[in-house]
Structure 1
Amino acid sequence: MPDYGKVTDKRRTSYFASAKQWLQLKKYQYEVTFSLYMLTPTEKFIFNFILFLLVSLLVTAATLYLPSHIGVIYNRMSYYVHGEYAYHTAASPAGEAIPSVAREGLKITSEAIRSGATPMSQAVKEL
């Protein structure tokens, strides 16, 4: 076999070995990109810990707060497009029936306003 044939000859490797080689390549690229190869092990640990902390906070914020924020944005866009809220409010301008939960909440609130007491003070009195 000629010399150039040896270069193009592919060796059969297992999936485990190729995955290990791929991970080593990614680790090398990470260290070269952020210049971690010239740091001491303690400095590497501190840098990686801070990076992990920031990424985990970002992921946590995205999973916990992003869905509700998207809902708020959707309601605002719907209001700007249609001129009314996307969800049913207690004071529905179309005269739709108010759900029983909202009706009970409005009843309790209106009674508290008429009596001059706040709902919190009523709750304290009940205790």
Structure 2
Amino acid sequence: MAFVLRWVFAFILLAATFNPTQWNFVRWARENYAEQLPITVLLGLVLLIGYIIYLRATLRSIGGFGMFLVVAVVGALIWVLVDWGILTLDNPSQNVWLGLLALSIVLGVGLSWSHVRRTLSGQADMDDVDE
């Protein structure tokens, strides 16, 4: 359940930033930054903080190569679904949602990896002392 919550929050962060609907920060900021610059900056900073938290935790737990591997697995899964005819890539909006799903899985795995490793191996992680 904890992984699902981390993944959902990652998906919400990504979808709030950009998605194919009209309800996203990028589109709203482009249309309203002149009239509502302070709130645009505030919301942008809140999103940036969310990205820093997720990216820092992901890079520390699985690293760049681990991120590549998770993206590769998700990409291969999508490829299998397309090959079996379960999924088509004809709809650009659907492709954006698939990209958001893939990226949110990477961030969710990255944020949860220490918990998964501890459960599988029985070993606890230690933070660096000099930080």
Same fold (TM over 0.5): no
> How does the TM-score come out when normalised to structure 1?
0.29
Instruction: Tell which structure's C-alpha radius of gyration is larger.
Output: 1
User: Which structure is richer in relative contact order (CA contacts within 8 A, separation 6 or more)?
Assistant: 2
> How does the TM-score come out when normalised to structure 2?
0.28
